[in-house]
Amino acid sequence: MIVVTGATGHLGKLVVEGLLRKVPATAVVAAVRTPSKAADLTERGVQVKAADYSDPASLVAAFQGADKVLLVSSSEVGQRVEQHTAVVEAAKEAGVTHLVYTSILNADTTTMLLAADHKATEEVIRASGIPFTFLRNGWYTENYAQTVAQAVQTGEFAGSAADGKVGAAPRADYADAAVTVLTTDGHQGNAYELAADVPWSYQELADELTRATGKPITYQDVPAAQHQSILESAGVPAPFAAILVDSDRGITAGELASTSGDLSRLAGRPTTPLTESVAEILKG
């Protein structure tokens, strides 16, 4: 039995769809906070169970009978470690034999602010004794949807990544990698560094947007402090703006790219190129 947490979320939903192409629906459990949102999965034969990262009892119940659990990291920054620890403890109590966790790229070496919770979670998982696999996901190209929308509207976008390159890929690529790990052997104890085969810079994103839209779009590289100010002026809360600015620093330092080839190898195909990713974002 394979349990996918956050199964109605952006990534979890894609993983469930991928699993249904590989295994019977009866072998998949969609663990979700609100089961009514997964009614379509119930209709297709998937077991849907209520599971809230902040409700340990619900997690233990959801994991009963499971061999493998995919822990899709929580989106609640600042609460992640506590929530993830609850999942790990529930998995151990339920007798799960393989815990797969969506971490962050280069989790053991990166200095990015966003990585702290992921590093701590990896330590909790290692200490639990449950056989594990870490899917150290890089950036999702969908993270740039708002940036693309703004650029198309105004003809420009700003950042502070200089000429650094980001190995971003669509969620679908990462989902395919997760499905492989969940449905094939030989992955326990591994930490996979997952990123696009061909990383790209913000200038290259601007160039591709110009080509795809037929209108000039420029990238304005600014100092970190100015970038922070721009984000706050756009309504981004200061703490989250700081994380975004720090992420651009990480891009400059090469912390959001990898030459491991793990993503394409696990997905069974080359990662989606920037041209296709931009085309999908522009479709809306």
CA distance 89 to 170: 31
Predicted confidence (pLDDT) per residue in 169-223, tens digit: 999 999 999 999 999 999 999 999 999 999 999 999 999 999 999 999 999 999 9
Tell me what the mean pLDDT of segment 97-117 comes to: 95
How confident is the model at residue 41, as a pLDDT? 95
How confident is the model at residue 60, as a pLDDT? 95
- Residue 190 · residue 133 · CB < 8 Å: yes
pLDDT at 250 over 90: yes
CA distance 201 to 112: 18
Strands annotated E in the chain:
2-5, 28-32, 47-50, 68-71, 98-104, 132-137, 156-159, 165-166, 191-194, 200-201, 218-221
Q: Say yes or no: do domains 2-140+169-194 and 142-166+198-257+272-283 share a fold.
A: no
Kindly calculate the radius of gyration of the chain based on its CA atoms and give it in whole angstroms. 19
CA distance 234 to 154: 14
Percentage of the chain modeled with pLDDT above 70: 100
CATH 3.30.70.1520 fits 142-166+198-257+272-283, yes or no: no
How confident is the model at residue 172, as a pLDDT? 98
Q: How confident is the model at residue 227 (pLDDT cuts 50, 70, 90)?
A: very high
Classify each residue of 103-124 as buried b or exposed e, where b means 16 or more C-beta atoms within 10 Å of its C-beta: bbbbbeebebbbbbbbbbbbeb
How confident is the model at residue 78, as a pLDDT? 76
- What tokens does 150 get? 């703004």
Tokens 């979320």 sit on residue: 9
Distances 202 to 48, 161, 212, 273, 274 between C-alpha atoms, Å = 40, 7, 15, 14, 11
CA distance 45 to 29: 10
For the chain, which residues make up each domain, given as ranges? Answer: 2-140+169-194, 142-166+198-257+272-283
Closest CA to 100 of 163, 19, 18, 189: 189
How confident is the model at residue 76, as a pLDDT? 84
Tokens 């449905």 sit on residue: 183
How confident is the model at residue 231, as a pLDDT? 94
Tell me what the mean pLDDT of segment 118-138 comes to: 97
Give me the sign of the Cα torsion angle 180, 185, 187, 193: negative
How confident is the model at residue 275, as a pLDDT? 97
Q: For the whole model, what pTM was predicted? A: 0.96
Cβ atoms < 10 Å from Cβ of 235: 7
How confident is the model at residue 254, as a pLDDT? 96
pLDDT at 77 over 80: no
CA distance 183 to 196: 22
Amino acid letter for position 178 = A
Percentage of the chain modeled with pLDDT above 90: 97
- Residue 272 · residue 172 · CB < 8 Å: yes
- What tokens does 280 get? 């999908």
CATH class, domain 2-140+169-194, is alpha beta
